[in-house]
Structure 1
Amino acid sequence: MDKNKENRIYELVEDLNKYAYQYYVLDNPEISDKEYDLKYDELKRLEDETKFILPYSPTQRVGDVVLPEFKKYTHKASLWSLDKSQNVEGIREWHDRNKKAVEQYNSVHEDKLPPLRYVLTKKFDGLTINCTYDENGILVKSATRGTGVIGEDITAQAKTIRTLPLKISNKHVLEVHGEAVMTKEAFEEYNRTAQVPLKNLRNGAAGAIRNLNVLETARRKLSAYFYDVGYNEGPKFNTYIEMMKFIKDMGFPQDPYIKVCTSIEEIEEQFEYVKSIRDDLNYDIDGVVIVVDDMKTRDVLGYTIKFPKWAIVICSLLVYVFYVIRVRNIICNCNVYSK
Structure 2
Amino acid sequence: MSHHLLFVVHGMGKHPPGWSESVRHVLRQRYQSLERSQLWPWESGFRVVEIHYDDIFEELREQWKLGATNLEAQLTQAGLQKSALTRIQDMLATFGSDHFISTHVLDVVMYRFFATVREAVKARVGKQITEALASLPTDGKWSLIAHSLGTAVTHDTLHALATANGAPRRSIRPAYCLMMLANVSRTLQTDVKAYDSQVRPVMPGQSGVLQYFLDIHHKWDPIPAFWPFQPHDEWPDPETRMAGRFREIALNAISEPNVHGFEHYLRDPACFVPLFRRLTMPELISPEEASTLTVEYLRTNRQTDFDQLRRRLEKSFVKRSGNHADLVRLLIHYYEVVGHD
Common fold by TM > 0.5: no
Report the TM-score, using the length of structure 1 for normalisation: 0.22
The structure with the largest strand share of the pair is 1
Larger Rg: 1
More relative contact order, 1 or 2 (CA 8 Å, 6+ apart): 1
Report the TM-score, using the length of structure 2 for normalisation: 0.22
